[in-house]
């Protein structure tokens, strides 16, 4: 599956959870990995001891930050092989007033949709032609009917948007896809440990009989980023263990 030559890979939100697993997977294969995020200390901790990992502090919802990142990437690497828009969050806060609701939706959409849109726009000129890969990390909540509604809605929009990106870049030999994780509780998204009862409830609806891991998602990303996936574009790859539609509301509550 893997190319023989070393590639240049960019992963937003690459210092924790699924993003960290994705970054580690590419780095362990010998690729140069640029990990982008707001917390430089987290990125530097991940990069420690890895000569082929470059930490870059940036808020990927901020156009000025991304403009600077793109300029630095062009200066250092000229072209990019793989870009993974992994950064995202589920905003937690009060929803008592109209102002609360507005803040909740703005922050959630910015974190999950706008971050990917701006990153893709900033780096598109640098993607290798042909052969560049743009991959966004979405969520099974976009289609399952479970999870927090603003988060799920922002991910559903991400799924629709990736189709347009694929249409825009396909003629240049670039692919664009989403990878959609199922229940992967070992991430910051859940805000803390998920209770055994909640985990068992969801696992009961997963065909393979276990919860997912960040490494499961990283493996799927590596496939979509491979040469063998050159005819895969504009799609959402579900990585959920065959999970049936089991509402995750109880899981979200347990993580609060």
Tell me the per-residue pLDDT of 122-137, one tens digit each, with 9 for 90 and over.
999 999 999 999 999 9
Burial class (CB in 10 A: 0-12, 13-18, 19+), 223: middle
- The string of pLDDT tens digits covering residues 43-87 is 999 999 999 999 999 999 999 999 999 999 999 999 999 999 999
Separation CA 166–CA 149 (nearest Å) = 26
Question: Please, what are the domains in the chain?
Answer: 8-254 (3.40.50.720)
CB atoms within 10 A of CB 68: 14
pLDDT at residue 190, rounded to an integer:
67
Tokens representing 38? Answer: 């707001």
Q: Is 119 helix (H, G, I), strand (E, B) or coil?
A: helix
pLDDT at residue 253, rounded to an integer:
38
Partner residues linked to 35 by β-bridges = 11, 55
Q: Which pTM was predicted?
A: 0.91
């Amino acid at each position: 599956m893997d190319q023989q030559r070393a590639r240049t890979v960019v992963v937003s939100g690459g210092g924790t959870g699924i993003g960290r697993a994705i970054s580690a997977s590419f780095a362990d294969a010998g690729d140069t990995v640029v990990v982008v995020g707001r917390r430089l200390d987290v990125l530097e901790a991940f990069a420690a001891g890895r000569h082929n990992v470059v930490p870059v502090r940036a808020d990927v919802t901020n156009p000025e930050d991304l403009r600077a990142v793109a300029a630095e990437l062009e200066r250092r690497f000229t072209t990019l092989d793989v870009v993974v828009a992994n950064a995202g969050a589920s905003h937690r806060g009060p929803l008592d007033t109209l102002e609360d609701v507005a803040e909740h939706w703005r922050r959630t959409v910015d974190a999950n949709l706008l971050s990917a849109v701006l990153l893709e726009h900033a780096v598109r000129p640098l993607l290798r032609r042909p052969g560049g890969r743009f991959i966004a990390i979405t969520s099974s909540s976009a289609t399952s009917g479970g999870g927090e509604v603003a988060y799920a809605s922002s991910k559903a929009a991400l799924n629709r948007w990736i189709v347009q990106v694929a249409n825009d870049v396909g003629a240049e030999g670039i692919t664009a896809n989403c990878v959609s994780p199922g229940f992967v509780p070992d991430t910051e998204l859940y805000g803390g440990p998920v209770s055994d009862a909640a985990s068992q409830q969801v696992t009961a609806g997963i065909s393979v009989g276990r919860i997912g891991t960040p490494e499961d998602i990283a493996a799927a990303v590596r496939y979509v980023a491979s040469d063998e996936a050159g005819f895969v574009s504009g799609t959402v790859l579900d990585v959920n263990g065959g999970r049936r539609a089991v509402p995750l509301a109880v899981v979200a509550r347990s993580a609060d």
